[in-house]
Amino acid sequence: MVETKRKPVVYIVSDSIGETAEFVVQAVASQFNSGHVEIRRVPFVTDQESIVDVVEEASLGNAMIAYTLVLPALREAIRAACELHGIIAVDVMGPMMDAFTRLLQLDPHQEPGLIRRLDEEYFRRVAAIEFAVKYDDGKDPRGLLLADVVLIGVSRTSKTPLSMYLANKRIKVANLPLVPEVEPPEELFWVPASKVIGLTISPRQLHEIRQERLKALGLHAQANYASMERILEELEYADQIMRKIRCPVFDVSHKAVEEVANKILQLVREEARNGE
């Protein structure tokens, strides 16, 4: 029986999950038809004892080590151990970090897994933006129960811009317009009052905003939508709903979206701290 020759092994040693080094190794392996080597990932290596174990295992066969270790002590430990056992070792991140240090004249954070945390934040932001779009303007009342924050108010009180701004801060926001002729969905009253934010505005400013909106749409500026009588009716109705819910209320009159959003964020963070 012919003995099958064992493939060389490339050990991926990382203080995080090791996907960065594995991606590089796979890219290089593809230049050699990939199948010529076996890749073994060794993630979350945080001490020198683990490094010694991996290097000793690698020394038993035809192997090399590629590593992404942020802490200088671990990088030096694996370099020295590989040199002692005559094992080929490649520092995937070290030279690039050294180059950045020289370029930026700054020291690296030396925190394992930072890129993974950045990726997680990115995907949470994207998910929050998709949520805000899906549950904008009361499109689906089920979103009220899934949201981190629910914004309510009459038309043109910055509900959508605020939703998108907060979404970029990874907050899932649903918003709901309050209209006297339309009863709010029952889901609104199931949401904890602390998660609901009421938005109000001065009648005079709302009158100006709605008139400009109608002009932009090519409609008559004297339409009922922009009449002061209608505006006062809507604001009174919205106030009744907000008082019924007993939710916090923010006046957006003459305020930038960022200013109101930051006050909402402060409220959300305080609520999170109180809930811990």
- Same domain membership, residue 155 and residue 224: yes
- Same domain membership, residue 200 and residue 222: yes
Strand partners, 196: 150
pLDDT of residue 67: 94
At 192-242, the pLDDT tens digits run 999 999 999 999 999 999 998 888 888 876 788 889 999 999 999 999 999
Q: Domain holding 79: CATH number?
A: 3.40.50
At 38-94, the pLDDT tens digits run 999 999 998 999 999 999 999 998 999 999 998 889 999 999 999 999 999 999 988
- Same domain membership, residue 126 and residue 104: no
Token pair of 51 as six digits: 């490094």
What angle separates helix 203-216 from helix 228-245, to the nearest 10 degrees?
120
Provide the CA 137 distance to its chain's centre, in angstroms. 23
- Same domain membership, residue 134 and residue 89: no
Last residue within a domain, chosen from 112, 139, 168 = 112
- Same domain membership, residue 79 and residue 168: no
pLDDT exceeds 80 at position 4: no
- Same domain membership, residue 154 and residue 137: yes
Token pair of 115 as six digits: 């890129």
**Structural domain harbouring 148:** 121-275
Contact 147, 194 (CB under 8 A): no
- Same domain membership, residue 228 and residue 165: yes
**Considering the domain boundaries, does residue 2 fall inside one?**
no
Report the run of H or E that residue 144 belongs to, with start and end. helix 143-146
For tokens 């905003």, the residue is: 209
**C-alpha distance from residue 257 to each of 117, 128, 210, 260, 271 (Å):** 28, 18, 17, 5, 21
Last residue within a domain, chosen from 112, 139, 172 = 112
